[in-house]
Chains A and B, each alone.
Chain A
């Protein structure tokens, strides 16, 4: 039996099998420990060149990838291009070809257009990791969300997970839906109907119109950030009303029949989609998500670079020897 691999790229969770997703989560486990050391470095990707190509502002995803790359001993370059490639004057094909000409090994890309990661991946032989493309997918975010849920509840299968907020514009929601469903969770979405994409239920999710119903149903809430520009664009009348009607508040959670695990991909709008008392409360795993983000990204980088799943422990071990 051959071990599963990820192939050349990580473009989303939709194309992956449950086995491949589990492989990433399992591979992340041994890498968690690396970040807990005094000297946070293993040699697994020594000599590899990775470009972090960010066409959209991002703080935590970019930093998380950069830590993951550095802790695996890769050489990294950050390219921050503001605005779309078109505004920049150079198109994405040319950007890709130029990077390729510099003989790189991997690209992590965030881009405002859905499908941009696939576009790039089809045109260069390097590994491409989707760091978020438009409103399509953000696979590493969903992977770290699932790793966090698994850490706390010891399973994904059979859990009831509700994703709350602006589903229409959320790549995090889409990646979570694919990943959770493949691993056997029950998934629902909840938010204002004006921020609910057409036909979302055909992906296999339940739609709740009221947050109270979602809270009564769920084991896990993944609370999405409400982009404030959605209000200017007229999708919702006011942030105030959003909090009153859809906010995840302590009062609402106290009525739940069971304790809920609270996730948020960040950055949070306190007092908009989430009550500070919930974000800082005992059931919030928001910072645990951030910690897991580095481990999950190390796992993805390691696997795409050709690392053997079973050898992750060994790769880590040899690093320890070198470090000690």
Chain B
């Protein structure tokens, strides 16, 4: 492995509160040094990063890679490459595969596919309950030993408060978070989009904000009861953000994430029955978008996670009621963050990088999200000024289901480095 010297970039590393022009030296796959005018060792590859941002590789703690089960929509390999193209060096794969990733063999399969992918690192999340059926806990210990970093029944919210309580308690033994998709199935029942004025006009069955908030409140209370770490996925409503803020003030072990589509789009995007605007939780109201943004700004929401949910095009080419929920996000997340959060003054560039690297790594205990000396050389180099237009045909993901087709975004990934190896190299600057 050749050493690598990344010269003259703006090194933004929130884990060390560093933001300034510097060189970054990588030797043997690890960060060797950071500083001014470093000299390149013999045989080193030198990268001119003048005018570029050099940051810890991005970390996405919520992706769906569809393997095993729906390899037509995505595989671990294609997902890992899409992640790399988006500047991510670590992703956490949700277990709602077919069969469900609910045992150590299945977890080991994801690890093996991830290692062979040659893209971003892939960390499996094991199912909280067997078959994600919400009845009996999976073997957390065995799955953690095989490489799982968290448990979740994402996509199949845990209805039983008793099971959720037990999961939070049991997960403490292994120091892992229980990541939960908050949704009351009785209030959700048959819903297709946010319940509000747009659903009324379109005649689509609504999903009230309370369907999420009730479970957010329950899960925070159970985390308080058990001392377990609950991680709340893709928060979409203003009251959810308020509940988490109050929970954190009380010292509850709760963390939460926001998805780019929830800080960018509102339920207005569903007009015209665009199935690429159909996701769960649904796109909400402008006040909710503002609350999610404010939650990211004040740290109530710890991390940005894409909820990358690939679907084969024919499944989205349907009546709105029949189309599946979900959009892909790995290859647009950074651009949306820069354009919609940094350019609007919601976050500084360093705060955005923090929400997309060091914070998600911290809450899921991943060895990532830092450029500290001695850490694994997972690095992204992007041109913050390059503007590009979202064209799904160019995605490395196998799927095309994005609501952002044709959007002009700022910030193009030029190079993604995992363990000192370039896994993605974009347009030459």
Contacts and interface: CB of A to CB of B under 8 A. Distances in A.
A203 interface: yes
A134 B201 CA distance: 12
Interface of A: 14, 84-86, 91-93, 111-116, 118-119, 133-137, 171, 174, 197-200, 202-203
Interface string B174-215: 000000000000000000000111011111111010000000
A138 to B, nearest CB: 10
Contact of A111 (B195, B201, B319): B319
Given A84-B322, A91-B318, A114 B204 contact: yes
B317 A137 contact: no
Given A85-B322, A91-B314, A197-B200, A119 B273 contact: yes
B318 A203 contact: no
A174 B201 CA distance: 7
A1 to B, nearest CB: 31
Nearest to B274: A115
Given A133-B203, A197-B199, A199-B196, 9 more contacts: A84-B322, A86-B318, A113-B321, A114-B321, A115-B320, A119-B318, A200-B200, A203-B200, A203-B201
6 contacts: A84-B321, A115-B202, A119-B273, A119-B318, A136-B204, A203-B197
Nearest to B314: A91
B272 A118 contact: yes
Interface of B: 195-197, 199-206, 208, 272-273, 314, 317-322
A67 to B, nearest CB: 27
A114 B203 contact: yes
Contacts of A113: 319-322
B200 A136 contact: no
A90 B318 CA distance: 11
B197 A114 contact: no
A112 B199 CA distance: 16
Nearest to A55: B319
A137 B203 contact: yes
A116 B203 CA distance: 11
Contacts of B204: 114-115, 134-136
Contacts of B203: 114-115, 133-137, 171, 174
Nearest to B208: A198
A316 B411 CA distance: 64
Nearest to B194: A198
A203 B319 CA distance: 24
A92 B320 CA distance: 12
A115 B317 CA distance: 13
Nearest to B197: A199
Contacts of A92: 318-319
Contacts of B205: 135
